[in-house]
Structure 1
Amino acid sequence: MNGYYARPAILDLAGDAAGRRILDVGCGAGPLLAALRGRGAIVTGIEPSAKMLDLARQRLGDGTALHQGGLGGDPLPFPDAAFDDAIACLVPSLPRGLEGTARRVAARACTRRPTHRGRQPSLGLQAG
């Protein structure tokens, strides 16, 4: 279902992703990262599950920045405002009440000033 509804909607919202630095919080096996990279984005994923990261590495290759990390408030492995856009979508493994944590993780990673293209950063969240 994600491939038919959520992913196409996010890609539509992303528009021209060429050259934009995009973080996917809870990237899973990386299908959204692959699609965004195909549109020219510079992608990074963070995911708590080692098994899902293995699948993402198989899909995206070793050259993609993929990090194992939880969404429980641990420090991120990159500086604040390191990305133009951040996405936290369809994160089904979040315990009840952590949706706000996922939103804060994505927001902190994303720059709050206009990007080099004059666009405001986007942020999407839908907990499963």
Structure 2
Amino acid sequence: MNLPANLHYTKDHEWISVDGDTATIGITDHAQRELGDIVYVDIDTLDKDIAQHDVFGTVEAVKTVSDLFSPISGTVLEVNAKLADAPETVNSDPYGDGWIVKMSVKDASELADLLTAETYGELIGA
């Protein structure tokens, strides 16, 4: 199981990487394995303010649709355009080219509520 130590994680299986006042968000390796083959990523929150824990989009796999919950509060700045034509990139590279959105960081103190790689690994039994 791939759990990069430099990322923060949520109990809902999202990861977040923060660079200055911009965060990159995606779903974890564990989440993409549980979902199976991802066929569509739907993000309708571009340029919208999202509160921590609110839904910012969905990921559709062959047999299910899963909500995406924001690890932090902020504004959705960018949606990964590659996913429109190649949603399976989330399966093949969840921590790299398979990122889903970039957001502004409204309140950096919210990061303290997130899980470390070690704690997330314990949560999923990795």
Bin for the TM-score computed over the shorter chain: under 0.3
Question: As a proportion of its length, which structure holds more strand?
Answer: 2
TM score, norm. by length of structure 2: 0.26
